[in-house]
Structure formats: structure tokens, C-alpha cells
Amino acid sequence: QRGYEVVGADLSPEMVAQARSHAQATGVPVRFEVAGFSALAPAVGGGFDALLCLGNSLPHLLTEEDLAAALRDFAACLRSGGLLCLQDLNYDRILARREAWLPPQSHREGEDEWLFLRHYEFDPDGLLTFQVVILRRRGTGEWGQRVLATRLHPWRERELAQALEEAGFHRLQFWGDLQGAPFDPEESGNLVVTALRPGAPEGQPECRGAVGKAT
């Protein structure tokens, strides 16, 4: 709607189909590809001005090797001096406080209603088991229930900084949200990182936004 050329990607064909449907419904010309971490560049190409990885996605990469491969893939998608923006939860705070429960979420669509209860198990190997209890009902009917679980790596600020620098990114900046609030490892709910792929001119201004444009 703002004139950017945008490409979206997700590992799930179902999520990509849903995204395409939403884009068509709003009349937005967005290209979507089915591709996961470390497979973006072959699917979407390179030369992008910005790459956004939002929604606490990086914790699904469980090892340092997986994270390094994903960041190299991100770099391959970007032009020289292109912007990378990452948004995760602030695991420095979550681990320090042992915050096991996330705020509940709800969603309503027509007569259908969903409630999502989200919980962390702090595993001995340093990873998390993320459990989601999904409650659903239609109208005033009875609630149905199912439980999903997945393993996550709670990447801390210093770990992401080191991995980004090793992948060749520079001019790293850390924020507490996508609006540019300062990052406080003890208080911020989110960790937003912006970084530039090598090749940015020395006089290039700081990157504060989370808007992507593909060339």
C-alpha cells in the first residue's frame, strides 16, 4: 500500500496460502514463497533493501550452527548495506525471572472463539519447551481443547550480537520494541535488533525503522 515491492516467506504451505488469501482480499500485490531458514536466498533471490524476521521466529533455531546458517542466508538476500531487522522476546528477562507464563491471547472470527494459554518449561539443557493450550468453541457451545509443544532456544542479546558479527553484519543496534524504545535487558518485553550487511557507506544514517523494500 505504501509502494514497496514485498516478498514474504514461511516454512508452512498452509500459512503461505493464508497470507496469499489476505493479500488478495486487501488488493496488495505481495509475492509469497514456501521457504524456511537457510533456504530463503534460493527461493526469493537477493538484492533486497531490507529483511524482516519478526514474531519470535529465531528461537526455533536450536543450535549455534543453525543460527549461523540462517544469518548467512539472510545476508545473501540483502544488497550491500541492506538492513536486517530481528524481533524476538527478551529472553534475558525471561530467563532471569523464570517467567513461565506468557500473557493469554484470544481471537474471535464470526461465531468461533479461541483462547491461547502459553507456558514455558525450563529444560536442563538450557532450551525451553514451549507449550500452547488452545481452547476453541462456536457460539455458546462447549470448549474444545488441544495442546501443542515445541522446543525453543532462548537467544540472549549477547548471543545474537556475537552471531551477527560473525556473520559479517555491523552497526548493530538494540531496541525494546519496533517503535524504537531503548532496550533494557531487565525490563523490555521484546528484543529488536537492527544490523547492516557489509558495504554500507560510512555516512549512512542510523536504521530505526522496520519497513522493508525489495529491489
Q: How far apart are CA 36 and CA 118, in angstroms?
A: 24
pLDDT of residue 52: 97
Domain boundaries 98-151, corresponding CATH code: 2.20.25
pLDDT of residue 4: 84
The residues of the chain that CATH labels 3.40.50.150 are 7-94+154-196
Q: What average pLDDT values come out for the chain (215 residues) when binned by 10 residues?
A: 86 94 90 94 95 97 98 97 98 98 95 97 98 96 97 98 97 97 97 89 40 30
The residues of the chain that CATH labels 2.20.25 are 98-151
pLDDT of residue 213: 29
pLDDT of residue 200: 52
What would you measure as the largest C-alpha separation in the chain, in angstroms? 61
pLDDT of residue 3: 79
pLDDT of residue 157: 98
CA angle 164/168/169 to nearest 5° reads 55
In what order do the strands lie in the sheet containing 128-138?
105-109, 112-122, 128-138, 144-152
Q: Tell me the one-letter amino acid at 6.
A: V
* 205-208, long-range: CB < 8 A, 24+ apart: 206/171, 206/173, 207/83, 207/85, 207/171, 207/173, 208/173, 208/175, 208/180
CA angle 196/66/32 to nearest 5° reads 65
CATH class of 7-94+154-196: alpha beta
**C-alpha pair distances (Å), 63 with each of 30, 83, 128, 152:** 32, 24, 13, 10
